[in-house]
Structures are given as structure tokens and as C-alpha cells.
Amino acid sequence: MESCIFCRIRDDELPARKVYEDELVVAFEDLNPQAPTHVLVIPRRHIATLNDLQPDDEPLVGHMLAVGAKMAAQRGHAARGWRAVFNNQREAGQTVFHIHLHVLGGRPMEWPPG
């Protein structure tokens, strides 16, 4: 997907502060952070929404969460807590249609979310 901004970040065609990469995922700092830690974990492969996941993608999504946990632990949030968020489709707040895990930490958070 040439027009996808997260595909372009993956390919280094757009700048981003990348913090982790492996064969399956890329993680980078959110441009508009909502907490002291706000990292996005994306799959390398373009998947528009969680609705598009196939059964074979289940290990990939598990890996995204494991990488998110590693990012949170590296920043010292493992014990105090951190939040993992997937916004799925517009009413839930999805604005970039390449699935991404938000890893948020470093401040107290409220529930329910807005």
C-alpha cells in the first residue's frame, strides 16, 4: 500500500523515531504522544483493520503484544502498569488504516476510556 503512512514509515520513506524492528513488526514513537511513553507497534505486512485478520495472523498479533510488553518493560512500566490499545474502525478512533498497537505508560490512566 503505497499511500499508507505506516507502510512508508516501515520503508523509511517517512521519518519516525523507530525503537524496535524485527522480521514481523516495527515499533516507533507516536507523533502525537498521549502519555510519557507512547509507542506504536505495527506489523510489517499491511493489514487495514482488525476485521481483516485471518486465522494465520494470530501468532503475529500475539507477537505485537509481546513486543509491546517488552517496550513497556524497557521504559520501566511493567510493575506500575501500562495500557495496550487497538482502535478498530472510525467510531473507535482508528485514523490510520494499518493496524497498530498503542503502548501507553508513565501516567495514571482512567477507565472507561473516552
Q: Three-state DSSP class for 27?
A: strand
When the beta carbons of 9 and 77 are compared against ligand DGP, the nearer one is 9
User: Which residues partner with 18 through β-bridges?
Assistant: 28
When the beta carbons of 79 and 85 are compared against ligand DGP, the nearer one is 85
Amino acid identity, residue 47?
A: I
- What is the separation, in whole angstroms, between the first and last Cα of the chain? 31
Binds ligand DGP (CB under 6 A): choice among 28, 43, 77, 99: 28
Q: Does 5 bind ligand DGP (CB under 6 A)?
A: yes
Question: For residue 4, what is its C-alpha cell?
Answer: 499508507
Among positions 33-62, residues that touch ligand DGP (CB under 6 A) are 40
Q: Does 94 bind ligand DGP (CB under 6 A)?
A: yes
Q: What whole-number distance in Å separates Cα of residue 54 and Cα of residue 105?
A: 29
How many alpha carbons lie under 13 Å from residue 15 in its C-beta half-sphere? 1
Q: Is 102 a catalytic residue?
A: no
Binds ligand DGP (CB under 6 A): choice among 31, 66, 73, 78: 31
Which residue carries 524497557 as its cell?
74
Active site residues: 100
Applying CB under 6 A, the residues found at the interface with ligand DGP are 5, 14, 16, 28-32, 40, 87, 93-96
